[in-house]
Amino acid sequence: MEREKLLEVKNLKQHFKIGRGRVVKAVDGISFDIYKGEVLGLVGESGCGKSTTGRTIIGLYDATDGDVVFKGENVHDKKSKADKLKFNRAMQMIFQDPYASLNPRMTVADIIAEGIDIHGLAKTKEDRMNRVYDLLETVGLTKEHASRYPHEFSGGQRQRIGIARALAVEPDFIIADEPISALDVSIQAQVVNLMKELQRDRDLTYLFIAHDLSMVKYISDRIGVMYQGHLVELATADRLYENPIHAYTKSLLSAIPLPDPEHERTRKRIVYESTSKGPVGRSDEDSSIPPLREVEPGHYVSLTDEEYEAYKAQLV
């Protein structure tokens, strides 16, 4: 049975002009698909372009080049107010900072109901509040929280409010932009478990952006690894861990600590040394990062011709 392709990202570029003629190539020609009902994790170090990718997909930034196709329609071609409203209802975002992403002057009820009001989803004030109460209970809060303000909540509770806000318009697709990085470690697993439960119960599709590979593996079906604005490896979560091929992926995996003192004493960190022409923020130089190649079904790696032939030779 062929899976339904919900999102197609084709050669997406996001370049920012800074200073006198300098160009930051934050995202520099990446392509991937996301299928209905799956979670695609996007990982990489800070500054690699993963958050910019998410913000460009949802339209917070206008793409420099490339296409974002959602449900068969190009996101950046939407011009009319009705088209934009339809798209904004279908695709929502959970932001990294649960402190900055909530308006401190609005009650929790008004924050969650903002999308409901914009899209006219509630018929009466009573219906509006009942929707808010249901959403609060869905994310593990209570209806008593509706009349409070964001400063009265912990970081984990605020992120739950942000999740409820995203769910309020009944979206098909959610971009979670490092939704747990600002939270205590003890709270992170609770939020990720909530997101997994919501995905299962509501048939949601996620782009889950993070830098913690171990947490991404836990929630994701497939994982894409970003480096300097490029995808360097893309595979199922299990296969990426079992058979990492790109040196940068191996470097990220080697940095994951395990709750095993003996393993930690002997763990060797792999340091990735790039052969590309410069870090993110390079000006007019073209990247030397090679394109993705399918080394096995569903497993894509950025390899030169020589590296690809050498990898195939190992399999013989």
The predicted pLDDT at position 96 comes to: 87
- Contact at 8 Å (CB) between 256 and 213? yes
Handedness of CA 210, 214, 217, 218 (dihedral sign): negative
231-250 per-position pLDDT tens digit = 999 999 999 999 999 999 99
Average pLDDT over residues 186-198: 92
- Residue 15: phi and psi, rounded to 5, are -110, 140
Of 122-131, 164-173, 177-186, 191-200, least confident by mean pLDDT is: 177-186
Q: Does residue 18 lie within any of the structural domains? A: yes
Q: Which tokens sit at 274?
A: 């790039």
Q: What is the CATH number of the domain that holds 222?
A: 3.40.50.300
Q: Please indicate, yes or no, if residue 117 is contained in any of the structural domains.
A: no
Q: How many CB atoms lie within 10 A of CB 253?
A: 16
Is 124 domain-assigned?
no
Query: What radius of gyration, in Å, describes the C-alpha atoms of the chain?
Result: 21
Q: Is residue 183 part of a domain?
A: yes
Q: What distances in angstroms separate CA 5 from CA 37, 72, 93, 140, one per listed residue?
A: 10, 9, 19, 31
Q: Which range in 52-61, 72-81, 210-219 is most confidently predicted, on average pLDDT? A: 52-61
Whether 160 is covered by a domain: the verdict is no
CB 300 within 8 A of CB 292: yes
Closest CA to 7 of 222, 237, 160: 222
User: Is residue 34 classed as helix, strand or coil in its secondary structure?
Assistant: strand
Domain extent, residue 206, equals 5-103+172-315
**Domains identified in the chain, total number:** 1
